[in-house]
Amino acid sequence: RKEVEQDPGPFNVPEGATVAFNCTYSNSASQSFFWYRQDCRKEPKLLMSVYSSGNEDGRFTAQLNRASQYISLLIRDSKLSDSATYLCVVSRGGKLIFGQGTELSVKP
Amino acid sequence: NAGVTQTPKFQVLKTGQSMTLQCAQDMNHNSMYWYRQDPGMGLRLIYYSASEGTTDKGEVPNGYNVSRLNKREFSLRLESAAPSQTSVYFCASAGTLNTEAFFGQGTRLTVV
């Protein structure tokens, strides 16, 4: 079992849809949590950090449940430009551990 | 502001050849990382450096060596390249351990 697991993709949604990504991690010693976005053949870019209290950045909302070892990302009012792969990332002992990513395709 | 710079961007090697991938950051970050990304495998950590003068193995260190030359630079060396090392290599840096990391544009390496 992988240390960080994400929903399998791809997710194909119409513009304006709300889409949710889920992620679970297996090591309770994990310290920090992030969502990254990766466009085809490019470097991953930080989308947002994830805090226990939950946090929001415009159309994006991230939640962390430490008891369930579960992280989520909600995208509201999807745009064509949101099409990318979304990577769940967990930090433990100085290592950043990536999930395999979930591909999102937003269609007109 | 350049951020994290990797060189080269593309490279083709023959089996058995050696090469060094260079990475430099200008954000005064303490921690630096090397990852490889393969289709269906996600990003896997090869080596990381918590601070200048320290390096540690990640998930897939075999076949690689690293040098943290100074605070800015962290190089990855392939001593004897193998086709299994064909991959996209990303360097990243972070202010400290367990904080968000910023990535270079990647090196696409093919070993034939």
Q: Do the chains contact at A98 and B41, CB–CB below 8 Å? A: no
> Per mean pLDDT, which of A25-29, A54-58, B37-41, B105-109 is the most reliable?
B105-109
Average pLDDT over chain B, rounded to whole?
A: 94
SS (H, E, C) A9-41: CCEEEECCCCEEEEEEECCCCCCEEEEEEECCC
Q: Do the chains contact at A94 and B99, CB–CB below 8 Å? A: no
Tell me: pLDDT of A108 over 70: yes
pLDDT value of position A2: 87
CA distances in angstroms from A18 to A45, A103, B47, B84, listed in the order given: 21, 15, 37, 40
Name the minimum distance, in Å, from the CA of A99 to any CA of chain B.
Answer: 6
Tell me the residues of chain A between 44 and 103 that have a Cβ less than 8 Å away from chain B: 44-46, 49, 87, 91-101
Question: Which of A96, A97, A103 is best to mutate for the B interface (most B CBs within 10 A)?
Answer: A96
The percentage of residues in chain A with a pLDDT greater than 70, rounded to a whole number, is 100
Q: What is the mean pLDDT of residues B95-111?
A: 92
pLDDT digits (tens, 9 = 90+) for A53-84: 889 999 999 999 999 999 999 999 999 999 99
Residues of A in contact with B61 (CB under 8 A): none
Dig out the tokens for B100 from the structure. Answer: 């968000």
